[in-house]
Amino acid sequence: IVVTGSDDHLWKMWALPDGNIIMTGEGHTDWLSGCCFHPSGTQLVTSSGDTTVRIWDCVKGGCLLILGGHARAVKDCSWHSCGDFVASASMDSTSKIWDVNSERCRYTMRGHRDSVNSIEFLPFSSTVLTSSADKTLSLWDART
């Protein structure tokens, strides 16, 4: 199974190797930039040009949670390996760590001077890696 996001504001889940569409997610109001499965495979996080991050139920296909707080488009998203936190990277030069259980932003990471284009939790760690249009990579401790 793979998931894709597109300029048509939709994400699609595809079965491999036959290529059939299993599920389609509607709700974002602008292009999708990132999709990432929850470690259990039961949920999906998406990021979009509409400045939101959304959590989706992979069984029912519906949106469970909308996380808003970025001032510009969100370029990427990633789940922490424990499944309780999501990271997002935005064109507003910030990254955020979201607590999915409390449904709020836990931390906003500032330091890049341009768009943050990608974000990833290092496996089984509180360390986050970001890359930016300012031509830098940064390592962050998500606890601080």
pLDDT per residue as tens digits for the range 23-73: 999 999 999 999 999 999 999 999 999 999 999 999 888 999 999 999 999
Residue-level pLDDT at 128? 98
Residue 7 inside a domain? The answer is: no
Cβ–Cβ under 8 Å, residues 93 and 106: no
Summarize the confidence of residues 103-110 as an average pLDDT: 97
Q: Do the domain assignments include residue 77? A: yes
- Residue range 83-97: mean pLDDT, rounded: 98
Residue 54, domain CATH: 2.130.10.10
* Sign for the pseudo-dihedral over CA of 70, 78, 42, 107: negative
Domain count, the chain: 1
- Compute CA 115 distance to the chain's CA centroid, rounded to the nearest angstrom: 15
Q: How far is residue 51 from each of residues 16, 96, 123, 135, 144, measured CA to CA in Å?
A: 31, 12, 26, 22, 24
Does residue 39 sit within a domain? yes
Q: Determine the Cα–Cα distance for residues 125 and 46; give it in Å rounded to an integer.
A: 22
Contact 50, 41 (CB under 8 A): no
Asked if the structure places residue 21 within a domain, the reply is: no
For residue 12, being part of any structural domain is answered with no
Full domain range(s) for residue 39: 27-141
User: In this structure, is residue 118 part of a structural domain?
Assistant: yes
- Counting residues of the chain whose pLDDT is more than 70, the rounded percentage is 100
pLDDT in tens, 111-123: 999 999 999 999 9
* 3-class DSSP state of 123: coil
Q: What gap in Å lies between CA 84 and CA 72, rounded to an integer?
A: 24
Residue 14 within a domain: no
Domain membership flag for residue 11: no
Token pair, residue 110, equals 């500032």
144 pLDDT more than 90? no
pLDDT attached to residue 101: 97
- Judge contact between 12 and 24, C-beta under 8 A: yes
